[in-house]
Amino acid sequence: MDLFALAVQLGLATAKALFIVTFILTVVPLLIWAERRVSAWIQDRKGPNRVGPFGLFQPIADGVKFITKEDIIPARADRRLFILAPIVIVVPAFMAGAIIPWSAPIPVDSFIGYWTSAVDWAPNGIPFQLIDVNIGVLYFLAFGSLGVYGVILAGWAPNNKYTLLGGLRASAQMISYELTLGLSILAVVIIAGSLKVDELIAWQSENGVWLIALCPVTWLLFTIASFAETNRLPFDLAESEQELVGGYHTEYSSMKFGMFFLAEYAHMSISSALNMALFFGGWTWFGLEKFLPWWVTLFLFIGKVLFFLFVFIWVRWTFPRFRYDQLMALGWKILLPLSLANLFLVALAVGAHEIYGVPQWAALLASQAVLIVGASIVAMNRASALRAKTA
């Protein structure tokens, strides 16, 4: 590879990285505004309507407030860890977006010019993906799990009992639900036969079906685990104001406090993007993407992500918060066994397709039906036993 091609690749990688950062920094203010407007709509009230038309300048006002407020560090806090914690939470959230394919490959001619069309490193177009590594979704899980360290540091550093309890709650919750998250992703990997996110999208495009239609239980497990991983209601026990004032970030103020919000919404955005890539075909749309320019597929994918971010907000203002014992019981006693059973049944379905020639869609739907029936029987038996015990 000559120096010119290397320089072009470096420039493209920089542009993709800037796109990810810009996308998250753009989505976060929109989510802050949408969080309040959607909650007001659900609760039949007006919401923000004073700062700009429809309250659109409210995120700007919040940003000014964060910047101008006094930055306080408790006297008994571990100063270095106190400063490090918000950084440790934010950075992995941004880095997890590197493996997301944001659009169809960009044709070389349309992006660089005809004089580079013969460059051999992009014969099929330039992938709109910062890094295309073989480990794919494992990269996402690895960087997603690093956020636990930031939460633990934020809970420990201020030398405050409320923050410590919030940090312990959050770390236990995130570790518990990472098992369900990983097992649900592994089921998708078994179906498509690859860890690379772009190949998981390609599998859905080639088969003309989104995995949400073939594996609805797998999608539900992944989505519930995503809510718990991002500490969103009804799984925000690490921040519950009624018990812990604000949880692990109680002692934080100014932009350090704002960085925790930035990390939360960044995690939401990247989790939504991966959800759309794994179960909703990513930037594809039932074969029509073959006739669309690459920039249209980019907006198509972003539209899917924004819709699921709306679902995040919708769920927050619809379901009540769990008790902490209910949260952990749900993770260990219900979701983890379901994830293991789902993985086993999906593996059987894939084996039946490859060995006996059973249509893959039929085998996968049968596996999901067996799982739903089995879980329903177990739930009814437990309910009967509980009623007999309390009678």
Token digits of residue 109? 């001619």
- Whole-number pLDDT of residue 288: 82
Quote the pTM value.
0.89
Give per-residue pLDDT as tens, 129-181. 888 888 888 888 888 888 888 888 888 888 888 888 888 888 888 888 888 99
Query: Measured in Å, how far apart are the chain's first and last C-alpha atoms?
Result: 77
Q: Residue 194 falls within a domain, yes or no?
A: yes
Mean pLDDT calculated for residue range 288-306: 88
85: containing domain: 3-31+74-323
pLDDT at 303 over 60: yes
Q: Residue 177 falls within a domain, yes or no?
A: yes
Q: Residue 66 falls within a domain, yes or no?
A: no
Q: Residue 59 falls within a domain, yes or no?
A: no
Share of the chain above pLDDT 90, in %: 24
- Whole-number pLDDT of residue 391: 66
Q: Residue 111 falls within a domain, yes or no?
A: yes
Q: Residue 349 falls within a domain, yes or no?
A: no
**Count: domains in the chain:** 1
Average pLDDT score over the chain:
85
Let me know: does 189 contact 137? Beta carbons within 8 Å: yes
- Whole-number pLDDT of residue 111: 53
- Whole-number pLDDT of residue 115: 45
Q: Residue 375 falls within a domain, yes or no?
A: no
Give per-residue pLDDT as tens, 328-379. 888 898 999 999 999 999 999 999 999 888 898 899 999 999 999 998 998 8
